[in-house]
């Protein structure tokens, strides 16, 4: 995870999503799932997250999803609140489910809180994480399988392999997988120069 800034609510969001959504909620108090009126704003949410999954901190070539940070199951009233949306890959959104704020919010993350270890591609919590957030950060890695989950490792490996093969520059890697680019840069700096 990397720091993410909150995005301004898009123009027209309230008229197209919040007002009709809240009306639907009032008329359907027992419904298990709300209509996805927010879906038309997925691309704007993605752009606000620099097209990176808010949890994996990587570009999701599948297009990603809108994550309700506080789940519909426990917070129906927030289903149509722009401030409750995070951009996430589908599998990570599914893994999160209704963990709600037991998971670290991408908007809470500070610089340098996480790093990727090479060559294993595992993610770890660094000493930069304040004590008050450490347990939540560790839980997030476990719940979302960000540390060493097979799917996430394959995802990281796909970007890393593109970089190693020369199909992706270091600048390009920074754009699609900034934590991985930081790991590559740290490895280069730690490697002694050849005489």
> Between the CA of residue 106 and those of 109, 111, 136, 154, what are the distances in Å?
5, 11, 12, 22
Pairing of strands 122-125, 114-117: antiparallel
Whether a cis peptide bond, with omega within 30° of 0, leads into 119 is: yes
List the pLDDT tens digit at each of the 195 positions of the chain.
999 989 899 999 999 999 999 999 999 998 889 999 999 999 999 999 999 999 999 998 888 999 999 999 999 999 999 999 999 999 999 999 888 889 999 999 999 999 999 999 999 999 999 999 999 999 999 999 999 999 999 999 999 999 999 999 999 999 999 999 999 999 888 777 665
* DSSP H/E element including 164: helix 150-164
Q: How big is the CA angle at 139 (ends 50 and 187), to the nearest 5 degrees?
A: 55
pTM above 0.85, yes or no: yes
């Amino acid at each position: 995870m990397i720091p993410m800034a909150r995005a301004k609510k898009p123009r027209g969001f309230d008229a197209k999503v919040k007002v009709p959504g809240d009306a639907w909620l009032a008329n359907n108090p027992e419904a298990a799932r709300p209509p996805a009126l927010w879906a038309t704003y997925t691309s704007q949410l993605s752009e606000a997250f620099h097209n990176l999954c808010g949890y994996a901190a990587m570009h999701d070539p599948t297009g990603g999803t809108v994550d309700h940070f506080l789940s519909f199951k426990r917070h129906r009233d927030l289903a149509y609140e722009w401030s409750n949306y995070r951009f996430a890959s589908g599998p990570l959104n599914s893994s999160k489910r209704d963990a709600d704020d037991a998971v670290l919010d991408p908007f809470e993350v500070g610089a340098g809180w996480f790093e990727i270890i090479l060559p294993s591609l595992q993610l770890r919590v660094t000493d930069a994480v304040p004590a008050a957030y450490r347990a939540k950060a560790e839980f997030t890695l476990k719940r979302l399988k960000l540390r060493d989950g097979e799917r996430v490792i394959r995802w990281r490996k796909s970007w890393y392999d593109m970089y190693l093969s020369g199909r992706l520059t270091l600048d390009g890697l920074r754009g699609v997988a900034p934590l991985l680019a930081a790991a590559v840069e740290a490895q280069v700096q730690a490697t002694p120069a050849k005489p």
